[in-house]
Amino acid sequence: GAVVSQHPSWVICKSGTSVKIECRSLDFQATTMFWYRQFPKQSLMLMATSNEGSKATYEQGVEKDKFLINHASLTLSTLTVTSAHPEDSSFYICSPRARVRSGPVDTQYFGPGTRLTVL
């Protein structure tokens, strides 16, 4: 399967600091990037969708000024959690989707996730 990397895999930071998470699709080009958040024992919640070169579309209830998404290239997207607080502690997962015209979403891949802990 396709390789997706996320960096860092885990991070601990102080309240008020900003944290940047990188997501790279290593062997394919991602025209669309999805960012998810997962709480323990809960489902993945879609935070935002971004297309390369365009502004991200945020889901209802997700603050765009707090979760900055940049999808500057077809192989790299970043999520920056600004002024992080303990309630932002979660598992963040990126999910790049390869260029497709039709068919099932079996070309949507998932990164290994980043565990963020805000003290």
Partner 1 sequence: GEDVEQSLFLSVREGDSSVINCTYTDSSSTYLYWYKQEPGAGLQLLTYIFSNMDMKQDQRLTVLLNKKDKHLSLRIADTQTGDSAIYFCAETSDYKLSFGAGTTVTVRA
CB closer to partner 1, 14 vs 41: 41
Decide: is 112 part of the binding site for partner 1 (CB under 8 A).
yes
Decide: is 61 part of the binding site for partner 1 (CB under 8 A).
no
Tokens 């998470």 correspond to 21
Q: Encoding tokens for residue 82?
A: 């600004």
Cα separation of 84 and 15, whole Å? 5
CB closer to partner 1, 31 vs 70: 31
Decide: is 58 part of the binding site for partner 1 (CB under 8 A).
no
Decide: is 41 part of the binding site for partner 1 (CB under 8 A).
yes
Among 13, 45, 62, 68, interactor with partner 1 by CB under 8 A: 45
Decide: is 82 part of the binding site for partner 1 (CB under 8 A).
no
Decide: is 43 part of the binding site for partner 1 (CB under 8 A).
yes
Cα separation of 58 and 64, whole Å? 7
Rg of the chain (C-alpha set) = 14
Decide: is 68 part of the binding site for partner 1 (CB under 8 A).
no
Closest CA to 68 of 50, 46, 93, 90: 50
Decide: is 113 part of the binding site for partner 1 (CB under 8 A).
yes
Q: Encoding tokens for residue 72?
A: 């500057």
Measured from the Cβ of residue 61, the count of other Cβ atoms closer than 10 Å reads: 7
Residues forming contacts to partner 1 in the complex (CB under 8 A) are 1, 4, 9, 34, 41-46, 49, 93, 95, 104-106, 108-113
